A and B are shown apart, each in its own frame.
Chain A
Amino acid sequence: MQNLFHPFVLPFVLGTIILFAICIWKFIRWFRHFDRLQRAILRKNIFSWKIIPALWEAFREGLLHIRISRQNLILGYMHRSIAFGWFLLIVVGFFEAHLTPLNSHPVWLAIFYRFFIHEHHLFASSEVFTFIMDLLLLYVLSGIFIAFCKKIYSKAVGMKKTTKHVLFDHFAKVSLWAIFPLRLLSESLAANVYQNGGFLTQSIGNFFSPWFAETFLTTSWTMYSIALGTFFVALPFSRYMHIFTEIILIYFRQMGVHEHLERTGYTMYELNACSRCGICIDNCPLNKDLNITNVQPVYFLRDLRYKRGTDAVADNCLLCGRCDAACPVNIDLLAIRQQERNKREQDHCDYSYLNNIQPFNAIGRVGFFGGCMSHLTPGITESMKAIFEEVEQKYWFLDEERTICCGRPLMQQGYLEQAAELRRKNSELIKKSKISVLITSCPICYQSFKNEYKLSIPIMHHTEYIMKLLETGKLKLRKDDLRTVYHDPCELGRGCGIYKEPRQILKKATHLVKAKHEKEESICCGINLGDTLIDIRQQTQIRDAAMNNLMYKNPDQICTACPMCKRAFNHATDFPVKDIAEIVRENMIKK
């Protein structure tokens, strides 16, 4: 009978117990902070078929890290080899241990197998297992090697800036990095002594002198066990908490749970699911163009998690959503940023001056809402009027004379009650006017009407409306010879997912050329309402970067679908910048 215990297993066993105890305690505590709606959603879906996509996504993202690979192949390989490789080591190790004919199989047997089991051929295909285990160890080690290179020279893995970690994360990382080389050493020493290694461990083991192997065998295994134990204890307090949290988060998300206006237990899952991979850093214009390096989600979430969040960080963000689109964990970064702003003291407002506005009876007409910003770029509103007239569509220009703001600018700064007040006023006017559809030329208003107003009529951005006119043949365009690049406004593209319509329209009216980064990766024009802390000089720096991005293929003109973006670019140069409505107006074939 073999002895399957040695005191050196204790750090590992203890570490594992502490790890699971803390994790379960944390998970339960966060779960208890779910709000009523989130619980109701969970109760409804918990045993539904949605579990299948949840498991699939957990496998793809928790282990294979497909989304990171899409961003960056090397980085994806690094994450995958460590996560998936380690997972397989555990699973294959478990089977190896349990296939071995023994009276008992203590939990640590799979981990320290080669210390305790010395003979090959104890069961069929045991050599295959030895081979696979060595292969997997090599796989994980390759990931650790890349991580090490990334630490020394991040550009080698295609990252300009990597995350600056807190001390505790370094501690956890060092223990994680130590685990696998120590395992290699321990198994190699065991291979030297017991001749039980595979292609890797046996070859390395043969290098050592038998005296050295004998002497340091137990020490090495002890250190391996300590490294494991240390990592497990550090895990729940470090960024590595993301390993388990991400899986649970994916499950909740697939069940339909999402962020609300205030922080809930679900937010705690999101905060802890951030792996601090740092992908959001390179994607943030504040970092790239202004060298502001403490506000990106990786640091923002970390500060919140360790209860060190500040307004200076929460407010310094364009809400452009570029990080959000890139985040491989799909954390709802904008919603969390918004939650922090929503905590702002709600100073009172006084919009009583809006009480006496007379509603207009516009039955049978479509409504057009320019919004505050379209009034700064009259070319847009004029073009829309011309288009309506061309297709003989009766319309009511809601804010031709004066505009009640849609409320989104207030909302973005956390003044929820004030925003609701403005929404009430606008909704009242719209409902009483009995318009059949509401068209707006401002993506900010569009997003606001679509998501915040609970109107019963369809809401359309003017690109959607124009596309519909083209599809139904009411409007026809001729094609000009200009090379046009399209700028995706943040609120329209990443905000509302409208990428297709403007491009389809432009393909009919002109020659569409590509920008360097576009669609989900488009760059904010800089002149926006989300960030109240950067000044005009910094805003123009971001704008210039966005311009450069558009100039990639030397276009003849820039087209956008947002009055703010148009204004931003118009101020930069004499280069022609047009709204899509203006291009359509220029190119429509008059009846």
Chain B
Amino acid sequence: MGLYSLSAMLLAAVVAIAIMAVSETFAIFVPGLLQGAWLTLQIALLGCVLAVTMAVLAALARLYGPLPLRWLANTYVEVFRGTSALVQLFWLFFVLPHFGLTLEPFTVAVVGLGLNVGAYGAEVVRGAILGIVPGQWEATVALNMTRWQALRRVILPQAFVAMIPPWGNLFIELLKSTALVSLITLGDLAFRAQQMNQTTMKTIPIFTLVLLMYLVMSLAITICMRLLERRATRGLARGRSA
């Protein structure tokens, strides 16, 4: 969808939530749900930071690392892409303590989701780096740059532009998968929704509000990434490419 349609949807969703916040049926749920949404947001943001970090490290290790490091990165990517996010969360939550490592649920959430999305992100980063034409690398050799200088100054800045749309999708996936942390006792938006649902059985108003809140967060991410993409592309002045 276009930027205008997305913005219109975002606006509509925000207005709908605001109206519900003052209406009789919905108002009692809003404060609790907002608290849950705040936790959801925190987990999502920290998860994104971890995901991007892991993705870049794993991609670089797979492309340029020494053999053992390459294997390690390959294993990481295959394992975290090959099993499901909930399995990973439960494993960190239930099994890790048996090996003497007990993490806070919040830490499990951030680490689990960050590592999961980071594994998908590693493929995005790798693909974007491999998508840079060989001529760019050759120019850096002719200018006597080291491989690291070339990566940092020439290759990654260009790869960055190609990475923005797929990262936008991954951030959305991460935000959505934060709902899973409700299953490991964290009081996020999904958790509060279920709790309220159990006590009041007012399923429709509660879940409508919750879906709208997730929608607002997702649309905000999508719109930000679109704007970022626009800016980055303009920097490359692609439009007038010779």
Q: Are A and B physically bound partners?
A: no
Q: What residues make up the interface of A, taking CB atoms closer than 8 Å to B? A: none
